[in-house]
Structure 1
């Protein structure tokens, strides 16, 4: 009757008011209130899916799309950094229906030609928390938080989820990203994005452009680009030429030093690489070693040994006795940009001989292995990648030093030694 309709309408209006207040609480200064408001709102999402308010769309879906858009619209603020609250939202992304509707909303937002830096950061924080199963990439999904109708085939389809995920990333990478966000994106692309998008080659333009930037950006882009080359048949013939150009003295001092050597070891792991290419990398690295700190040398020298072990043809670099090569007569051209034209295979690693006179004991011991003979098995570099100068200093301090003799004759008094001539002229 009319009275019930008025009362129902009044209740819905009050419910909408409550929703507005809860949404406002998502931007509250208190983290506890933010998380509590998010928890309440998500419970209301579940309740609305069971008891839909909008009967017009009831036949298509029971999911409260409008309420969910308000929640995501606030979380993805243009002015407020919501990374912490988005981290709390991650637990809901474990449900496939929440993930699906989140991706749908992200597709809509990411289609904008430009986005503020804060919005970009919030979108990335949300994307970073979205994960997919590593095995089943095409089957149906069934882990739902809300009521899902049988007719909602897209929500139940993993393929559809991945299509939306791909769209979001392709749109997002068109933004003009800040330097910090740019690096974060490049770090997660190889493991969290490339395996789950429908066509990884869609990222080839972004990764090749990033690889050509230089510096840390090129380093971070190299892993994703290498995956596209080796696993997805991307044709990029200048990969090793560009990688060769990244070998500069600064690699021993950058924040991503460990990651760089780990990736370089991965890129050079193939035994099918040409010997003259491997020789060029070995020669370039050992030349850099003349100016490298001890922590860098303890990675670099065994790294070069591993290259020689993988490529026996490069043993001539340490076994050459037919010519006397030094810095002035070295046929290797360090200024040549193309490693295959550098003449490294006609040279030798005389720099390792120089490092045998290094002031740090562990370095010259490692360099001395060249004379004894490098091992047949590769040296494990896992623990060395993270090594720093502070680690070496602490290790030296922790060593127990033996008592060192400072004189051969025990002293019996001041100016009383047998070799002490001063005592002949002075008496105390």
Structure 2
């Protein structure tokens, strides 16, 4: 569209909007205004959204959309019925704009729709005598149905919607709509992603807070008790998550859910133990999935008295050479440090983990060893009974005579307590100087205080390389006569018979 034509269209939209506000005689111009939702020009659509907002907020304010105390067959009644139909068309246009290709159009449409929600709550147009609810649940449901699309990924727009979730009434009705959508256990991946984004963005007030809520975006009637009750919010939140977890989630979404469950979701649920089945199944999958599920399961065991006797047996099976190469290496060691921190664990169990980690360290890269070896030292420091693993002067043990059975799946039966950490002695001959130094501590005696591993969890090969490069370089003499070419000095035989 040419600049002049575009300017004329925008002026025409503004003029028609003002005319509709001045007199009912120009009401048919509303149809022309709404038709611009289909325009290809972004600026025109944005102006159309502004015009619709200006028109219908005015009509709601002056109660021209309400049929209360009006006979529908009368002239006034017919006009209001017609105007309500145009309002429906406008809402349809705005909701379609929520999935527009333009981000600006999406965000403005969402903003206008939420402003209309606020307006309707103050001047209800759908309120009936048998329903004391003033929150415009019907309009809000239209918005949520579009945001929770099963064909369009609305992650970005839902991030913009997050600011409204701080209001108790919006959060309540969002949870109701999310719960309804989550009951579709065969939902496609796109819908699952949209549902996850909403659930991830929802935060509930702390449990210690007063059970009565009052931070509302809309005008809420005294009779709407569920919106004001924190316990009701928690119940909806829990139900939505439980139904969401029953879906067949994609691998990526599965991992994302396992990451946020322990810290963000559990504390907000009415009964965190309801996550037991989901976390137990994930813990039995193996690999990265088991690692991510372990934190949530450990919290259920320690804080909510879940009986899970095979937890450490399964954790023991996760100690494989691949842990030094996976994306979640730092998380793995951080969580294992947490799981094995209790001084009430039996010494033979801790010895099994120390021995297992020492054995797989024989094939680990330097960055992994700089975590694994101090990790083993920390386990021994916490459990002094395990010190015999590094000091057996009466034993001449070798690889063939080691009583430790690496094939045994049960850490309590692997015989680690009768073994020793000869693997650490082997690492004293490692080519990397930092590994040599940390392994050499075994001979002089490990410290009494635990080693801080926080900075080592994220250590990578690139970090080690950068550390070596940044060291102060010293000039070292390698020849008495400076070379004059690639093939050596002037008397070098190569120079006599070869040229470059």
TM-score by length of 1: 0.94
Whether 1:34 and 2:121 are equivalent positions in the alignment is no
1:334-345 matched pairs, under 5 angstroms: 334-345=406-417
Residue of 101, 117, 141 corresponding to 1:45: 117
What's the secondary structure of 2:390's corresponding residue? helix
Instruction: Please say if 1:9 is aligned against 2:81.
Output: yes
Residue 96 (structure 2) pairs with residue 24 (structure 1): yes
2:192 alignment counterpart:
120
Counting only pairs closer than 5 Å after superposition, residues 274-423 of structure 1 correspond to structure 2 as 274-406=346-478, 410-411=480-481
What displacement does 1:52 show?
Answer: 0.4
Within the alignment, does 1:237 sit opposite 2:312 as a pair? no
Structure 1 position 15, deviation (Å): 1.2
Say whether 1:69 aligns with 2:145. Answer: no
Q: 1:411 to 1:107 in 2, by over 3 A?
A: closer
Report whether the alignment pairs 1:143 with 2:212.
Answer: no
Paired residue total: 416
Gaps of 5+ in 2: 1-69, 485-490
Cross-structure match for 1:174: 246
The structure having more radius of gyration, on CA atoms, is 2
1:258 aligns with 2:330: yes
Aligned-pair CA distance for 1:112: 2.0
Q: 2:296 aligns with which of 224, 233, 238?
A: 224
2-side partners of 1:386 and 1:96: how far apart? 39
Q: CA RMSD, aligned part only?
A: 1.8
- Structure 1 counterpart of 2:280: 208
Contact 1:333 1:342 in 2 (8 A): yes
Residue 405 of structure 1 and its aligned partner are, at CA, apart by 3.6
TM-score, normalisation: structure 2:
0.81
The answer to which structure, 1 or 2, has the higher relative contact order (CA under 8 A, 6+ apart) is 1
Q: What residue is the counterpart of 1:158 in the other structure?
A: 230
Q: Does 1:83 align with 2:167?
A: no
Gaps of 5+ in 1: 415-420
> Deviation at 1:136?
2.8
Task: Measure the CA separation in 1 of the matches of 2:422 and 2:382.
Answer: 20
| Distance (whole Å) between structure 2 residues aligned to residue 328 and residue 264 of structure 1 | 29
Asked if the contact 2:185/2:248 (under 8 Å) is kept, the reply is no
Give the Cα–Cα distance (whole angstroms) in 2 for the partners of residues 153 and 375 of structure 1.
60
Residue 142 of structure 1 contacts residue 156 of structure 1 at CA under 8 Å; is this kept in 2?
yes
The answer to whether the Cα contact below 8 Å between 2:375 and 2:453 also exists between their aligned partners in 1 is yes
Distance (Å, rounded) in 2 between the aligned partners of 1:249 and 1:393: 22
C-alpha contact 1:138 1:157 (8 A) present in aligned 2:
no
Q: 1:201 to 1:412 in 2, by over 3 A?
A: closer
Distance 2:129 2:432 in 1: 74
**8 Å contact from structure 2 (residues 262, 295) kept in 1:** yes
Contact 1:318 1:370 in 2 (8 A): yes
CA-CA distance at 1:133 after TM superposition: 2.5
SS at match of 1:225: helix
CA deviations 1:386-412 (Å, max 9, x no partner) are: 1111111111111112222435xx449
